[in-house]
Each structure stands twice: as C-alpha cells, then as structure tokens.
Amino acid sequence: MITSNFNYSGIIHCISLNPVKLFSVSFITASSFLYAQSRPEDSLSTAVQTVEVIGRKSKGYSSDYSFAATKIAMKNKDLPLTLNTITKELITDRQAFQLGEVMKNVNGVSPSSYYNQYNIRGISQNEEGQIINGMRTRQYYFLQPMTSNIERVEVFKGPASITMSSVDPGGTINMVTKKPLSGPRHEISLSGGSFETYRVTTDLTGSLNKSKTLLYRFNGAYQNAQSFRDHVKNSGILISPSITFVPNEKTSVNVELIFNDLYGNLDRGQPIFGASAGKTDLYSTPRSLNLGAPDDFFKTRELIIMGTVAHHFNQSISFNASYMKQYWRENLQEHRTTNSFVPDMDNKPVSSLAMMQFVQRKQNWATDNINAYFNFKFKTGSAQHQALVGYDSQIWEKRQGGQQNAARGFLLKNGSVASSYNPAKAADYQTVNYNGTVIPKPNVTPFDLNPGASNYQGTDFNMLNAVTSLPSALTTTHAAYIQHLLTWKKFKILSGIRQEWFQDITSYKESNESSFKNNKLLYRLGITYSLTENINLYGTYLTGYQPQSNTVTLMPNTSNLTGSAARFKPLTSDLKELGIKAQLFGRISLNLAVYEINQRNILINANNPSEPDELIQRGADRSRGFEAEFSGHILPQWHIYGGYSYIDAKILDDSNRDLIGKRKENTSKNSVTIWTRYNFSNMEFLKDFGIGAGVLYQSSKIPWFTRSFELPAYTTIDAALYYTPAKTVQLSFNLNNITNKVYWIGAQNYLRLFPGTPRNYLLTATYKF
C-alpha cells in the first residue's frame, strides 16, 4: 500500500499485500502481468505501480515505465528512443490546468501559437499530434484540453508511426488518463487567479466491493476564465468516470468515459504595423490587442468511450484488446485577418488597416479505434524474446451536414464581391475614405490599428460571398504489425515492421463519392547496450508516413481538403538517433541524445490573402539537434526536472529556391527549461512549507509567412509557495512570469503574433478526505 502526503518525500513506504490480490490488480494490461510475473515476490508492489492501478510507487517527477511506446512494459532507460514524461506531481506543482501549460516543461518542444500546436525538435505538428492512451482522437487543436483526468503526459520524440500509425515526424504527445485505485482516495481543489480565473476539480477513487475486484475513479473539472487578450475568454466542463473489473488472476476489464464541453473563442493573435526588415517595431500595438469581436465564439463538445480487455493464458502468452469511440462537434463564429493589409487604390498596403474576414462553421464527426495484439514470451538458449503480433484500425467519419460561410474580399459597384483587388479595374470597385485615404471598400469592415480607434466588429459584413457545404468524408487506416524485443547479455534489440493500408473517401455516401487508396510498409530498429548497471547506450532508426488527408483534417477550405490524399504526395519521414541514458546516484535520470529527422512533402499554407486557407507543398526539410534532459530528486525533499535543447532545422527543398538552406520557421535554436521544488520537511519550524521555482528560455524565432522580422529571445521566471498544515490540506500559490517579461511564443506574420502571458498568479486550495 502506498502512503503519501503533500510533502512527498523520496521514500515511499509499502506494506505487504496478498500476492494473489497483487496479481489480480496487475491485469490492467496483459503486458503488465508479464512484467509482474518476471519479478520476485518482494517486488510485486513495484510491478503493480507501473500500471497505475493503485498508483505509481514513485511520487516525484520521474516515471520509470511506458506502455504506449512499445505496447509492453519497458523501462524508460531501456527504450532506444527519447521519451519525456510529465507526471501528475509535476502537473500539480505547476498548476498546469491545460495541456499548453504542461508542454512548456518538455525539452525541445515550443508552442507555435495559442492553439494545441507545438514545434517538436524543429518540426511543427500537423494539427493531429495528440493521442489518448495510445489511441487517436480528432480535433484537440484550437482549444486546450484540461488535464485534471491525466496521470501523465508522454512525448515520444521522432516519428512514432510504427507504434501509433500516422503521427507527426517531430514527435507524438500521448495523454495517459488516471486509472482506478484499490484504496480509497478523495480530493477536491478550488482555484482562483489572474484574469478572473476560477477552477474546481475533483478526483474520487476506490473499490466498490469488499473483494476489491471492482474499482472506480471519477474525475471532474470546471473552469471559467478571461484573458489578458481583448475579447478572449474560455470555460469548460470535464467529466471522466472509469471502472475496472478484475474478476480473477487472468482477466481484467476497464471502461472509461471522457466528456468535454468547451466554450471560448479562437485567438488569432496580435497584429503589429507594417514590417520592414530590421526595423519592425513589435511594440507598436499592445500585447492585448486582438482582431476578434466580442460576440465571436467557438463551441466544441466531445464524448469519448474507451474499453480495454486483457487476458493472460499462461506465463508466456497474453492478449490485449482496446476500443475507443469519439464523437465531436464544433460551432464557430469568428472575425480574423486574411493575413494582409487593406490596399489603397494604387494597390499599396495601408499598414494601419488590417484586412478582415468573417467566418461561420459547423461540423461534426466520429472516430473509431481498435487495437488488439498477442504478446509472446520465450527463450532460445541465453536469449530472451518478447514478440508482439497485432492489428489496429482507425476510422474517421466526417458526417454530412457540415457547412462553412465566409465573408471576405471587396465590394463591386454591381453588388457582387471580388476576392481580390485589381487596380487595373479600379473603376469597378466601391470606395470608402479611411482617415483621408481612399481604399476599395472591403466586404468586411477592416480593423483600424491606430491607437484609440473604435473597432467593434458586430454585424459588419455586407454579404456572405463564400457559402460552402463541407463534404462528408471517410478516412480509414488498417494495419498489421510485428514487434520483437530480444534481450541477450547486455543487449536489447527492438525491431518491428508495420504494414498499413489507407483509404480516403470524399463525398462519402453521396452521388459523387470518390475514393483514393494507398499503403506503406514501415519499420524500426533500436539497439540498447548496458554499459554498466546505471548507464545505457542506444541507437535507433525509425520511419514515418502520413497521407495528407491526416494532416489537413481541420482545414476549413474544402477545396484544399477534398481529395488531398490523392492531390498531394504523402508526408514521409525518418529518424536517426544516438543517445546515453544514465541513473546518477540512484536519484537523477540523465538522458543525452543527438538526432537527425528528415521529412519530405510537407504541406504549408500558401500565404495567399485572397485564399487564406490555400495549401502548397514543400519538398523537404531536415532537423538536427542535441538534447540533455534530467529528472528526479537531488535530495529526498528536493525534486527537479528540466533540460537543454539545440536544434538546427533547415529547408532542403522548396518551390521558392531562395528558401533552400535557410532556417526553418518558428524554431528556436536553443532552449532551456527547469523546474524544481524543495520541501522544508527536515526543518521543524518550516516543515509545513515548500517552494518551487522555474526558468524557461527560448532563443529567437522567425515567423511562418514572412522573414521580414524576428521574434526576440526571452527568459521567463516562475515561482511557487506550498503550505501543508495537515496531511489532508495544501495551499499552493504560483506566480508566473515574475519579471512581467514582454515576449512572443510564435508568429505567422505581422498580423498574427502570439504574445506570452504577462505576470499572473494562481492560488489553489486542495483537500483530501
């Protein structure tokens, strides 16, 4: 049994439990049972912790095991790849209520915008990077998911297609949900802070019968918050119950539900005045400036149902099957820029007037995930083998009835709308005088960037000139895979092959239905060598593959989405990596890695103001880098997590020949992240207190769509104070960006910069019962 309090120390006390019961609760996955079987009886509690049925043994910032990386319980130090894990303890200490707040702790990962969009090892995600319990969901892009039901967040560096099908070349974010515990544990937290932020969370778990074969967990959360950004707000409700049934020593069943109801708006960024190379003033407008309107909104509702069945036939053969169903729908209304300034009659940009568009969109879809595999263990001489044979399937159905309406362009005298301004036909356009400058009259009222200008964006458009039915679609992926782990002397060799079959059907179940098929064989090879008991060397080679339909599912312009898999070449990638993993003094995990990631056929925005969602394809780019990462405890009461990353990301092939050899967009060459917590548990008069501190450094970036200016490097400093007057109560006070640094986390162009949050605080009271 694990005993702990808020002042978690480096030593967790265990009491002996009946081995039969330990075995019974270890069947959350078949692979976890195999691991438990291989351990001596006095270590069974450790085996149980790795599957998080009654919690991890460690209560710090390190996680020793991962299942999603290989579908078997491998120690992280034995994995021939880089895996970053943010545990729930670190999430709690940083009061990271949303995924974006969690990700700033991950080395080599930086946000590209306010959305759920990250740059991993110099490669931007294609809007589809988040996985839940190793299974794919669609649309975690615009609004940040809440984390109160998350046990840990795992970031797999490099293309993980061999394990998780079509995922991003830079890396994959896997959110592992909390599982039921056998012992009773109840917790409620209340939070309040800057920008009228209010939060409530609850976490309840325990057994439903005396034999503890039926376990439950319930996580719930509510948030309501404003922002330092004009007209930006967000609120959300999360409900996540789960049940685990362990009828005997060989079988377990887990059922889980996640309901998310989010309401907010899309913050498209801060505009600045016209860019001039080396002279652009990033401070020409306040960081609060937002081009959106007060009545803009973005509503999403999501329901996820997951089930897992695991069965152990004997000590050598086990079976695991998982299923996930996701329903998702959106309702959007927004004002946003067309990524250009309004032209004057000579077609010269008026740098104080941002060209605007008005967009409405409704759509809904459903996804199905199936994953099933057999796990075999056997020996040949002195070599141990663990073989995995499996099948998985992902089906995404974009349902009929979706529609997008848009107003953009310029008004003509005949009452119609032109998508762009043609100065040769200036006489055909309606005109209007703005502050002494005559301009062709936009369909949507432009945004005046001058200080003090009135910019209420209500019903300010003349006509919806782009009314589009979003076609139904069906995207399916089926795959068969084989994975083999060979353990021989000091070597562990992880190999695998995966055959995937893709099909995209556009206008699904309609008279003009069309289909496109593709297939790909993927493979991996990783070797780990135990130099000493505490030091491992590894090397790995991975390949990745994404049909382009999987990279543009959220693009609202249907002309870019329909048939994209057939129109554009698939995104292919590969990773080469060498590294060292070490355990220092039994307390600190240290990982060092050098890598190269190549990707080809990258879809990027064409930066066409008249067609803001148009896509083009870049030939190739390459990212090379070095990472140093550490986690653990320096002293029993002193925990630390952080790392340093160097990224050299370059464009290798592009239709714009001037870009070849140039630095990639939205990528910091150097970054540092550190967070530490110290508890004064060994000092009598301060034993109820703890402190935390963190530093984040990002070097300069260039925007996505222009190289006329650069986002400067920045350093932010955070701190926290913890007070635990009793084992059941903790007060946490987090102060972020102490120096009130003005900085930008990313940018697309001079009309869409994403400023970082100014100084802010959050106070949380937590009660356990």
**Could you give the 3-state DSSP secondary structure of residue 310?**
strand
Torsion of CA 519, 621, 280, 444, to 10 degrees: -20
Instruction: Characterise 183 by phi-psi region: left (phi > 0), alpha (psi -120 to 50), beta (else).
Output: beta
Residue 436 domain-assigned (yes or no): no
**Could you give the 3-state DSSP secondary structure of residue 741?**
coil
Tens of pLDDT, residue by residue over 603-635, are 887 777 666 667 788 999 999 999 999 999 999
- CA-based angle 227:144:195, to the nearest 5? 15
The average pLDDT across 657-662 equals 93
How confident is the model at residue 749, as a pLDDT?
A: 86
Closest CA to 82 of 648, 591, 468: 591
- CA-based angle 108:272:99, to the nearest 5? 35
- CA-based angle 612:614:618, to the nearest 5? 125
How confident is the model at residue 23, as a pLDDT?
A: 31
Lowest mean pLDDT among 78-87, 392-401, 550-559: 550-559
Handedness of CA 269, 274, 276, 279 (dihedral sign): negative
Lowest mean pLDDT among 77-86, 89-98, 156-165, 567-576: 156-165
Lowest mean pLDDT among 234-238, 474-478, 496-500, 546-550: 546-550
> DSSP string covering 240-268, please?
EEEEEE--SSSEEEEEEEEEEEEEE----
How confident is the model at residue 44, as a pLDDT?
A: 32
Torsion of CA 18, 21, 27, 28, to 10 degrees: -110
Tell me the pTM: 0.88
Residue 593 domain-assigned (yes or no): yes
The average pLDDT across 528-554 equals 84
Residues 287 and 759: beta-carbon distance below 8 Å: no
Domains identified in the chain, total number? 1
Q: How far apart are CA 505 and CA 399, in angstroms?
A: 12
Tens of pLDDT, residue by residue over 386-405, are 999 999 999 999 899 899 99
Paired with 177 in beta bridges are 150
Lowest mean pLDDT among 259-263, 462-466, 698-702: 462-466
Q: How far apart are CA 571 and CA 604, in angstroms?
A: 12
- 671 compared with 519, residue with greater pLDDT: 671
Residue 571 domain-assigned (yes or no): yes
Paired with 224 in beta bridges are 198, 235
Quickly tell me which residue has 């797999």 as its tokens: 156
How confident is the model at residue 258, as a pLDDT?
A: 97
Residue 409 domain-assigned (yes or no): no
Residue 7 domain-assigned (yes or no): no
Q: The domain that contains 313 carries what CATH number?
A: 2.40.170.20
Residue 463 domain-assigned (yes or no): no
The average pLDDT across 313-324 equals 96
Lowest mean pLDDT among 114-123, 548-557, 748-757: 548-557
Tokens of 682: 């060994």
How confident is the model at residue 750, as a pLDDT?
A: 86
Lowest mean pLDDT among 15-24, 340-349, 486-495, 546-555: 15-24
Residue 536 domain-assigned (yes or no): yes
**366 Cβ neighbours under 8 A, 6+ residues apart:** 325, 326, 327, 328, 396, 397, 399
- pLDDT over 70, % of the chain: 86
- 339 compared with 303, residue with greater pLDDT: 303
- 48 compared with 179, residue with greater pLDDT: 179
Please give the mean pLDDT across all residues of the chain. Answer: 86
Q: In Å, what is the CA distance from 158 to each residue of 9, 29, 82, 83?
A: 34, 25, 8, 10
How confident is the model at residue 566, as a pLDDT?
A: 60
Closest CA to 539 of 594, 599, 591: 594
Lowest mean pLDDT among 117-126, 557-566, 718-727: 557-566
Tens of pLDDT, residue by residue over 6-58, are 444 333 333 333 333 333 333 333 333 333 333 333 333 333 333 333 344 45
Tokens of 526: 């990783």
The average pLDDT across 69-74 equals 84
Residue 411 domain-assigned (yes or no): no
Tally Cβ neighbours within 10 Å of residue 275.
19
Tokens of 68: 């999603």
| Structural domain boundaries enclosing 106 | 19-404+469-768
Buried-state track 546-571, b at ≥16 Cβ within 10 A, e below 16:
bbbbbbbbbbbbbebbbbbbbebebb
- 401 compared with 694, residue with greater pLDDT: 694
How confident is the model at residue 276, as a pLDDT?
A: 62
Lowest mean pLDDT among 2-6, 75-79, 209-213, 671-675: 2-6
Q: Tell me the backbone φ, ψ of residue 614, rounded to 5 degrees.
A: -65, 145
Buried-state track 473-484, b at ≥16 Cβ within 10 A, e below 16:
bbbbbbbebebe
- 274 compared with 80, residue with greater pLDDT: 80
